[in-house]
Amino acid sequence: MANPLYGQNKSDKMIGSLVLNVESATLSSAGTCYVAVPVDCVIKEVAYVVNAALTTDKSTLTIKTPAGTAAGTHEIPTLAAIGDSGFVGSLTSNNSLKAGDAIEIENDAAPGTGQATFTVFCEVTNAA
């Protein structure tokens, strides 16, 4: 009988992709948001959609895992309007996670207002 759980193969290991969403607090002051991962995975990309316009300056993001800070420059550009979206960048180091680990997304204090929802795209690596 086939395994009834979607995304599982005959060895009972998860395969495929994982998408996680997390909302930021206002980007006008420094802040941090967290999201836990339910399976072993590797973060591939982080995207954003703006819910409150970023009016006067870019918001620089720092993306962290238990292994450390992910490499690369990650930012939401100046004058991002409501509904604007984009990728904040690929993660090329410190991007492997175990089930139960947390992803931390920090933002600097961008002048003006702003608020965003982040979408984290992961590739499931192995969860028995």
What residues form DSSP beta bridges with 50? 116
pLDDT digits (tens, 9 = 90+) for 101-117: 999 998 887 766 778 89
Q: What is the mean pLDDT of residues 14-33?
A: 84
pLDDT digits (tens, 9 = 90+) for 66-95: 988 887 668 888 888 889 998 877 788 899
pLDDT higher for 57 or 63? Answer: 63
Q: Give the predicted TM-score (pTM) of the model.
A: 0.79
Would you tell me how many other CB atoms lie within 10 Å of the CB of residue 5?
A: 8
Instruction: Give the span between the Cα atoms of 5 and 65, in whole angstroms.
Output: 28
Q: Where are the domains of the chain?
A: 24-124
CATH of domain 24-124: 2.60.120
Structure tokens of 102?
């947390």
Q: What share of the chain is helix, strand, coil (3-state, %, to 5)?
A: 0, 50, 50
Q: Does 34 score more than 90 pLDDT?
A: yes
